[in-house]
Amino acid sequence: MGWKETAEPVLTRMPTVVRPEGHVPFKRKLMWTAGILVLYFFLTNVAPVGLLEADAQDDLFGQFRTILAGEHGSLMQVGIGPIVTASIVLQLLGGANLLGLDTNDPRDQVLYQGLQKLLVIVMTALTALPMVFAGEFLPAQPQLQLGGLVLGPTEVKALVFFQIFIGGILILYMDEVVSKWGIGSGVGLFIIASVSQMLVAGFLSLSPDGFFYSWYMIVTGQTEIGSLVAGDGLYQLLVDEGMIIALLTTLLIFGIVVYAESVRVEIPLSHSRVKGARGRFPVKLIYASVLPMILVRALQANIQFLGQILNSQLGESMPDWLGVYGPQGQPVSGFFYYTAPIYSPEDWMWWTGAVTQEAWMVMIRVSVDLTFMVIGGAIFAIFWVETTNMGPEATARQIQNSGMQIPGFRQNVGVVEKVMERYIPQVTVIGGALVGLLAVWANMLGTIGAVGGTGLLLAVSITYKLYEEIAEEQMMEMHPMMRQMFGRE
């Protein structure tokens, strides 16, 4: 008996959101999407019962919050991290063909979805446990009275863990509701919500971190920026208080992503039975989208998460080559320092005095981050294309099943696949590496609201794709016959 037969009774009984039996009207999809979005914002503002003030806590994920779409000190503490980690594990196992699952087989599809949910539940527990019980990352109250019941320290921590765990499970099923009943995906929707919130706050905040407030203080003379030629006045104007580079980087990322989404190779298609019916199959420059970047950054987040846990448990007894942590809980040397992503200009501009490390240490860290993102982006883009049925073979089969063919070629799956192999693998690697390069570049120059280059790339690209999906849904709504043609009915 194989593992599939053994696990089938459990995996097939995992709770799931029922798919709609027929076509879901566009307005109803919008209502489901908006409802889940409101629920997400509500849950990010609900603190677990028994938790101390979030301001006094160290956030393990820190700058990764923009891509993990969670809120520190709330029920959404773990964000989409467990979902992404489970996807990484399944992609690696599937890429090595260790699962033995055929996603074209309905039975194996159910097993795959059940296995993914089970992994997400396990990862949610493994992520929340050290946050609550290890160190002071989520300090609970020493004592809590609920009615006539008095809970001790251990019971309060268990209660906090249970609430965060439930919040992680809610994200899983909220994502499934959006995917089946709404528009786009829940993961993408939550990333857009998280990044947009930070971006708007970065522009409009009445604190020194706010762009418009900073320039109000500069224009009114309440902030002295010193000389614009000598000293650090130019640095303050461009990077620190003026945030001009951050503004330009933010605008450039918007423009580059929208332009890259429009760059494509269009393969002509014609219908084999309907004369005059023609179309094009677009192979975009960012063919695998920027979603594989979530997997790369999540892998880096898990490495840093491990370092934080080891530091909290071992303290000064941790080997120096592994990592030395400063007073603020950030690595200052060792393996965990070199593998930490570049978050902002202050992490690498050693000549400004903001960095205490030597120049060669900073350059090694920049090189590791750049290599990790470029190579990791290309590798995970390949995995993403293969596991989401976007590869040459799956695409050729979809074109064949739709009755389309490439003019001048025989109507054969193998022939279409060979044509697709000329473009898809190369574009996938180039697009994945390009997105990784853009993410590191944006992080090094900084962005408004400190959303990070990866978070901004994700938000812009997901928003663009969401716009395309909304346009497609509206077209399907206006022309019901097209739903039958594309199998949407």
Q: What is the mean pLDDT of the chain?
A: 82
Give the three-class secondary structure for 144.
Answer: strand
Measured distance CA(163)–CA(47) in Å, rounded: 9
Spatial contact of 385 and 424, defined as CB atoms under 8 Å apart: yes
**Highest-confidence range of 151-155, 261-265, 360-364, 410-414, by mean pLDDT?**
360-364
For position 366, what pLDDT does the model report? 93
> 151-165, 216-230, 234-248, 469-483 — which one is most confidently predicted on average?
151-165
CATH fold label, 1-12+24-182: Preprotein translocase SecY subunit (1.10.3370)
pLDDT at 57: 57
Fold of 239-459: Preprotein translocase SecY subunit (1.10.3370)
**Number of alpha helices (DSSP H) and beta strands (DSSP E) in the chain:** 18, 7
Q: Which residues of the chain form CATH 1.10.3370.10? A: 1-12+24-182, 239-459
| Of the candidates 320, 318, 345, the residue with the CA atom closest to the CA atom of residue 450 | 345
| 111, 12 Cβ separation under 8 angstroms | yes
pLDDT tens digits along 222-262: 666 554 444 556 666 666 666 788 888 888 888 888 888 88
Structure tokens, 194: 């998280």
Task: Quickly state the pLDDT bin for 85 (edges 50, 70, 90).
Answer: confident
Place of tokens 């690697």: 429
In the block, tokens 């990070």 appear at 452
Return the H-helix or E-strand segment holding 369. Answer: helix 359-387
What does the pLDDT look like over 383-397, one tens digit per residue? 888 877 788 888 888
